[in-house]
Amino acid sequence: MSGNTHVSQSGPPLVQLRKVRKVYGTGQAAVHALKGIDLTIHAGEFVAIMGSSGSGKSTTMNILGCLDTPTSGSYLLQGVDVGALTRDQRALLRRYFLGFVFQGFNLLHRTTALENVELPLIYRSMPGGARRRLAAEALKSVGLEGRESHSPGELSGGQQQRVAIARAIVTHPKLLLADEPTGNLDSVTSREIMELLTALNRERGLTIVMVTHDVETAAFARRCIRFRDGLIVDGQPPERKPS
C-alpha cells in the first residue's frame, strides 16, 4: 500500500465493521449470511471483495451501502453507527456520502445521460443551472462529452456504465460501492472501466469498494478481501499480474 499516497491511516477509519452478523429468517429456516466479520477501510483505499456466490459479499455490500443493517455487531461509517439509524437517516447517508455502481448499470430508461447524472443532485435540492453544469462536468470526466442527450438505449454497455459512474461521482461521495461493475462487459471494455475507476481512486482519492468474481478485475484494486461461508478468509492484497 506504500504506493498510494491518498490512504489516510490517521483519524477514524472511513468504514469499520465489528463482529457483524447477518441472519435472514428465523428458527430452522434461518440463513446465516455473515457470521461475524471485522473489516476496516480507510479513506483513499481501493478494495476488491471476492468470493463465491452465497459467501456473504453481497450482504456486506448492502450493509456498507446502508441499504441493510447488521443483525448484530456494529457498522461505523465515518464514526457514525449506521445500525442505530432510521431508514430515512440511512437514505440521507447514501445521499451525501455514498455512490453506487451496479453490474446492470441501473440507469433510468428513456431519460438522457445528463438527466440520469442529475438525479442524485435533484435529491440534494440543487438548482437546475448548477445541477446541469455539474452533471455535464461529471460526464466529461468519464469521457462522455457530447453524449449528454443520449438515452441509455442509444449507448453501448461501456458507455452506460460510464454514465452510471458519472452519476455515482457527481456528488463527490466519500465511498463508491461498485457491485461487479464489469460483470456485463467484454474484456476490452472492462479494462477501460477499471482504468477509469483506478484513475478516480488515484487522482481524486476516491475510496472504492468493489465486488468482483474476476481475478483480473480484482487485480486493479490495492487490497483484496476474500469471503467464504460468511467469513473473511483472506485480507491480503492480491498479487499483481504483469499486464
Partner 1 sequence: MIRQNIRMAIRTIRRNVLRSALTILGIVIGVAAVITLVTLGEGATAQVASEISSLGSNRLDVRPGQAHRGPGGVRSEADPLEAEDARAIAREVGGVEAVAPVASMSAQAIHGSRNRSTTVTGTTRGFLQVRNWPLADGRTFSEAEERSGKAVCLLGTTVRKELFGSSEAVGAWIRLGKLSCRVIGVLESKGQSSFGADQDDVVLIPLRTFQRRLAGNTDVQAIYVSVKEGISTQKVKEQITELMRERRRISADKEDDFHVMDMQEITKALTGSTQVMTALLGAVAAVSLIVGGIGIMNIMLVSVTERTREIGIRLAIGAMERDVLTQFLVEAVVLSIFGGITGIALGLVTAAIAASVLGLPFIFNAGIVGTAFLFSAAVGIAFGFFPAKQAARLDPIEALRRE
| Site residues for partner 1 per CB under 8 A | 62, 65, 67-68, 87-88, 91-92, 94-96, 98, 100, 102, 106-108, 110, 119-120, 122-125, 167
Please, what is the minimum distance in Å from the beta carbon of residue 190 to partner 1?
Answer: 21
Please, what is the minimum distance in Å from the beta carbon of residue 68 to partner 1?
Answer: 6
DSSP-derived pairing of the beta strands 46-51 and 231-234: unpaired
| Of residues 13 and 65, the one with the C-beta less far from partner 1 | 65
Please, what is the minimum distance in Å from the beta carbon of residue 123 to partner 1?
Answer: 5
Which element (helix H / strand E) includes 20? strand 15-24
Please, what is the minimum distance in Å from the beta carbon of residue 62 to partner 1?
Answer: 6
Cell triple for 213: 468474481
| Of residues 57 and 222, the one with the C-beta less far from partner 1 | 57
Cell triple for 240: 499483481
Cβ–Cβ contacts within 10 Å for residue 89, how many? Answer: 12
Nearest to 177 by CA among 124, 122, 103: 103
Please, what is the minimum distance in Å from the beta carbon of residue 219 to partner 1?
Answer: 27
Is residue 178 within 8 A of residue 58, CB to CB? The reply is: no
| Of residues 29 and 188, the one with the C-beta less far from partner 1 | 29
Cβ–Cβ contacts within 10 Å for residue 84, how many? Answer: 10
| Of residues 94 and 162, the one with the C-beta less far from partner 1 | 94
Order of all β-strands in the sheet with 31-41: 31-41, 15-24, 72-77, 80-81
Is residue 48 within 8 A of residue 237, CB to CB? The reply is: no
| Of residues 137 and 234, the one with the C-beta less far from partner 1 | 137
